[in-house]
């Protein structure tokens, strides 16, 4: 039956020519005969499970996954799949759905699972996240989420093609709040590469290690591309995924690239069925042009009906030069068009010459305007520097204290013995020039760096030196104007701090270190008082509270008489006199004085209230995230203020706050003054046994977490600790 079309092709190639119309009719008839002789294979059994998780209980709502699962299920149903949709599935529902689908997939020719929602990679393992997952720690993921390989194993009973599609590489909101239980456990960006077993194809919405976009419409970019191509008949499965990849790249401007892992069988697979070669041949022959035959050959090059494919190749060749007369007419038309184009080109060149003349005149005017702007900018900068010089000069003209001033001597001795950054700030504020200035600057510089070393890990855990530099800026409270002045003056002295924008980064700190070295200062890039003095930025500021909001990151026993020589806030002196033998640290936030006090003995509730009243204050109320963060910064670097829990294994106890359980056996928590609890920072599992516990304290859940790490939260206890947090209005 195949002799006729091959004969037609031979005659077309070299013998007496057949008309294109007769040859097309002959080829269609032969193709129809071949299809009758070789009927299509019986329908495949195709099953699909689609899970769309949008309504997460402990993370923001995702708008697309539910729509994606429903819309894709409808598309799969239209091409012969038996589909099941599960929306907003919790941990148990996801496992049950996979278990039941495993039975349905057994014996199916094609089994497909689609998941849209959140996913995460921890320790090189990929997990799909149910809607009820909390994931407070990285260890919880094993018990609250499903491994991706659990999904692929659920399809192991199917002897046919197995496909798993994962649209779960979005920005993960759980990672930001997740506590780390192991310093060696990694948390990836997106999902990790997954190499499935033979016969399984896994498709990611975004290549491993990258993030997928949620999109702005009804569907995610990945789901939208699947919906566009999955119902196309005659498109082989591998090609369909390549078309999905190209569509997503186009829709996202190259930001997202889907990827498939695994391998397909050697034979072609058509999810939407193979289109009729006869119908496509008829369409191509009706059009008769080269583009139509190219589309036909692109779709059916690998078809079993090679006889019809051979005819199509010959017809394409014939279409290239079937009408010499038409070709000649086209040539003459092209020559006429070329002559016209040449005339237009000459006219355009003349117009361009005129335009170039006008453009050169405009450029000259623009250059003149730019030169004027540069000159004005230079004049403005000179005026700014002159104003800065006048300001420094006016400050320098402040009458100096008597070098033998007894008040300065006593203040210096007090600052030396107290030896905190805030004490030295008070000394320089009250005595900007004295016979102790040089020695005081050296002592303050050493004390300041000791404090910055404690704070370094807050800014850079890996590089202590860089962390100290960044800490010196934030702890000193340098304003943007002061940071701009530092960069401007370094530039004037010939150092390169980078862009003068008020942001002190690595390049600015390198310039500071070079400046310090050239002037005989400690050249570590830490911005201290001697460095600012050498930069001609006067060391006297509005007051110590503008230098240091926290007196010191470590606790001290303060002598109230000595402290009174350098500290002018009466609340601080009341606090120290109320607990003269206690370890104390203090700081100011939103016009309130907060202090952590360690008495050295466990206190009952009445004893804590009595100490607070003696200081003319109260136990601290923590009513916002910002206040909580500030209070934790007072004690988390000082081991005096916290201790191991009673089992000495897995937690540390910190200071007590003014949060008490209800009276007469009630279990309602409220602040010491009766105000309700509007903000809380309870650790997981707390409060517990409320009838046995009546006070709240700070606690760090893991003993192995080093001081300075995040994670301090509240827990309840039956009595007060040796430390407590006070608040003075």
Q: Mean pLDDT lowest for which of 20-24, 85-89, 477-481, 710-714?
A: 20-24
Rounded to whole angstroms, how far apart are CA atoms 607 and 393?
54
* pLDDT value of position 15: 40
* pLDDT value of position 646: 54
Position 372 confidence tier, pLDDT thresholds 50, 70, 90: confident
* pLDDT value of position 388: 54
| C-alpha closest to that of 268 among 230, 300, 240, 236 | 236
Rounded to whole angstroms, how far apart are CA atoms 714 and 643?
15
Cβ neighbours for 135, distance < 8 A, ≥ 6 positions apart: 58, 120, 129, 141, 144, 145, 174, 178
Rounded to whole angstroms, how far apart are CA atoms 390 and 384?
10
Q: Mean pLDDT lowest for which of 474-483, 498-507, 628-637?
A: 474-483
| Neighbouring-strand partners of residue 583 | 598
Is 666's pLDDT higher than 70?
A: no
Decide: 637 and 453 in contact? Cβ < 8 Å: no
680-697: burial string, b at 16+ Cβ within 10 Å, e else: ebbbeebbeebeebbbbb
pLDDT digits (tens, 9 = 90+) for 575-595: 999 988 888 999 888 889 999
pLDDT digits (tens, 9 = 90+) for 38-48: 434 346 799 99
Tell me how far CA of residue 430 lies from CA of 289, 528, 572, 588, 649, in angstroms: 94, 18, 18, 20, 49
Rounded to whole angstroms, how far apart are CA atoms 276 and 372?
74
User: Kind of pairing, strands 46-52 and 81-87?
Assistant: parallel
* pLDDT value of position 276: 63
Mean pLDDT across the stretch 689-699?
Answer: 74
Rounded to whole angstroms, how far apart are CA atoms 245 and 68?
17
Position 663 confidence tier, pLDDT thresholds 50, 70, 90: low
Token pair listed for 523: 């050249």
The phi, psi pair for 187, rounded to 5°, reads: -125, 115
Rounded to whole angstroms, how far apart are CA atoms 344 and 709?
74
Tell me how far CA of residue 99 lies from CA of 65, 86, 339, 685, in angstroms: 21, 13, 75, 32
Position 19 confidence tier, pLDDT thresholds 50, 70, 90: low
Q: Mean pLDDT lowest for which of 20-24, 36-40, 501-505, 706-710?
A: 36-40
* Helix (H), strand (E) at residue 343: helix 324-396
Rounded mean pLDDT of the chain?
80
CA angle 540, 541, 545 (to 5 degrees): 130
Percent over 70 (pLDDT), the chain:
81
Position 333 confidence tier, pLDDT thresholds 50, 70, 90: confident
Decide: 424 and 437 in contact? Cβ < 8 Å: no
pLDDT digits (tens, 9 = 90+) for 220-258: 999 999 999 999 888 889 899 999 999 999 998 888 999
* pLDDT value of position 514: 95
Is residue 187 classed exposed, middle or buried when 0-12, 13-18 and 19+ CB atoms within 10 A define those classes? middle
Position 3 confidence tier, pLDDT thresholds 50, 70, 90: very low
Using H for helix, E for strand and C for coil, what is the string for 5-16? HHHHHHHHHCCC
| C-alpha closest to that of 131 among 143, 120, 144, 142 | 144
Token pair listed for 591: 């016009």
Is 103's pLDDT higher than 60?
A: yes
pLDDT digits (tens, 9 = 90+) for 536-566: 775 545 555 556 778 888 888 899 888 888 8
Decide: 723 and 596 in contact? Cβ < 8 Å: yes
CA angle 191, 52, 214 (to 5 degrees): 60
Decide: 615 and 556 in contact? Cβ < 8 Å: no
Within 13 A of 516's CA, how many CA atoms are on the CB side? 20
Rounded to whole angstroms, how far apart are CA atoms 205 and 656?
49
Mean pLDDT across the stretch 269-273?
Answer: 83
Q: Mean pLDDT lowest for which of 84-98, 644-658, 704-718?
A: 704-718
Q: Mean pLDDT lowest for which of 255-269, 274-288, 472-486?
A: 274-288
Position 327 confidence tier, pLDDT thresholds 50, 70, 90: low
Decide: 257 and 245 in contact? Cβ < 8 Å: yes
Decide: 260 and 241 in contact? Cβ < 8 Å: yes
Token pair listed for 142: 């094993």
* pLDDT value of position 33: 47
* pLDDT value of position 198: 72
pTM: 0.46
Place of tokens 């409270």: 477
Position 476 confidence tier, pLDDT thresholds 50, 70, 90: confident
Place of tokens 């200062």: 521
3-state helix, strand, coil in the chain (%, to 5): 45, 15, 40
- Is residue 177 left, alpha or beta, with left meaning phi > 0 and alpha meaning psi from -120 to 50? alpha
Is 81's pLDDT higher than 90?
A: yes
* pLDDT value of position 568: 82
Find how far residue 232's CA is from the centre of its chain.
37
């Amino acid at each position: 039956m195949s002799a006729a079309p091959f004969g037609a092709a031979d005659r077309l190639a070299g013998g007496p020519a057949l008309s294109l119309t007769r040859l097309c009719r002959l080829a269609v008839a032969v193709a129809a005969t071949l299809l009758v002789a070789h009927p299509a294979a019986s329908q495949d059994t195709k099953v699909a499970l689609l899970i769309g998780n949008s309504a997460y209980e402990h993370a923001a709502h995702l708008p697309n996954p539910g729509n994606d699962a429903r819309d894709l299920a409808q598309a799969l149903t239209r091409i012969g799949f038996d589909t099941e949709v599960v929306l907003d599935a919790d941990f148990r529902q996801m496992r049950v759905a996979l278990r039941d689908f495993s039975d349905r997939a057994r014996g199916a020719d094609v089994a497909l699972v689609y998941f849209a929602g959140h996913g995460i990679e921890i320790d090189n393992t990929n997990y799909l996240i149910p809607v009820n997952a909390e994931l407070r720690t990285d260890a919880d993921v094993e018990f609250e989420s499903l491994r991706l390989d659990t999904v692929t194993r659920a399809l192991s009973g199917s002897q046919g093609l197995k496909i798993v599609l994962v649209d779960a590489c979005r920005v993960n909101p759980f990672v930001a709040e997740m506590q780390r239980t192991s310093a060696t456990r990694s948390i990836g960006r997106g999902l990790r590469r997954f190499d499935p077993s033979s016969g399984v194809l896994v498709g990611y919405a975004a290549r491993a290690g990258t993030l997928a976009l949620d999109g702005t419409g009804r569907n995610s970019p990945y789901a939208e591309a699947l919906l566009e191509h999955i119902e196309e008949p005659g498109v082989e499965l591998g090609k369909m995924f390549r078309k999905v990849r190209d569509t997503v790249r186009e829709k996202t401007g190259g930001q997202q690239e889907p990827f498939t892992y695994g391998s397909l069988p050697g034979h072609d697979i058509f999810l939407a069925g193979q289109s009729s070669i006869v119908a496509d041949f008829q369409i191509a022959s009706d059009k008769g042009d080269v583009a139509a035959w190219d589309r036909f050959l692109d779709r059916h090059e690998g078809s079993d009906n090679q006889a019809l494919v051979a005819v199509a190749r010959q017809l394409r060749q014939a279409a290239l030069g079937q009408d010499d007369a038409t070709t000649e007419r086209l040539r003459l038309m092209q020559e006429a068009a070329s002559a016209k184009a040449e005339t237009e080109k000459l006219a355009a060149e003349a117009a361009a010459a005129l335009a170039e003349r006008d453009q050169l005149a405009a450029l000259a005017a623009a250059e003149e305007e730019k030169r004027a702007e540069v000159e004005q900018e230079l004049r403005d900068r000179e005026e700014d520097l002159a104003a800065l010089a006048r300001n420094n000069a006016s400050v320098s003209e402040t009458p100096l204290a008597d070098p033998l001033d007894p008040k300065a001597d006593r203040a210096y001795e007090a600052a030396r013995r107290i030896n905190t950054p805030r004490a030295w700030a008070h000394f320089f504020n009250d005595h900007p020039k004295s016979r102790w200035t040089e020695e005081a600057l050296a002592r303050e510089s050493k004390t300041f760096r000791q404090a910055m070393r404690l704070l370094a890990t807050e800014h850079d855990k890996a590089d202590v030196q860089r962390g100290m530099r960044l800490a010196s800026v934030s702890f000193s409270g340098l304003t943007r104007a002061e940071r701009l002045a530092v960069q401007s003056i370094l530039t004037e002295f010939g150092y390169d701090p980078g862009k003068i924008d008020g942001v002190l980064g690595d390049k600015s700190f390198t310039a500071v270190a070079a400046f310090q070295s050239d002037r005989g200062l400690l050249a570590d890039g830490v911005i201290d008082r001697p460095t600012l003095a050498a930069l001609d930025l006067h060391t006297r500021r509005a007051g110590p509270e503008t230098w240091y909001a926290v007196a010191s990151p470590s606790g001290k026993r303060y002598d109230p008489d000595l402290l009174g020589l350098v500290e002018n806030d009466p609340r601080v002196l009341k606090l120290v006199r109320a607990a003269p033998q206690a370890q104390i640290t203090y700081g100011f936030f939103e016009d309130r004085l907060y202090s952590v006090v360690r008495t050295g003995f466990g206190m009952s509730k009445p004893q804590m209230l009595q100490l607070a009243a003696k200081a003319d204050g109260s136990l601290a109320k923590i009513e916002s995230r910002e206040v909580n963060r500030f209070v934790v910064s007072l004690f988390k670097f000082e081991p005096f203020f916290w201790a191991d829990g009673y089992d000495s294994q897995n937690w540390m106890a910190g200071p007590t706050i003014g949060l008490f359980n209800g009276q007469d056996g009630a279990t309602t928590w409220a602040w010491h003054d009766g105000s309700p609890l509007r903000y809380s920072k309870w650790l997981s599992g707390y409060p517990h046994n409320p009838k046995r516990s009546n006070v709240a304290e700070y606690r760090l859940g893991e003993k192995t977490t080093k001081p300075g790490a995040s994670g301090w939260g509240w827990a309840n206890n039956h009595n007060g600790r040796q430390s407590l947090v006070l608040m003075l209005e």
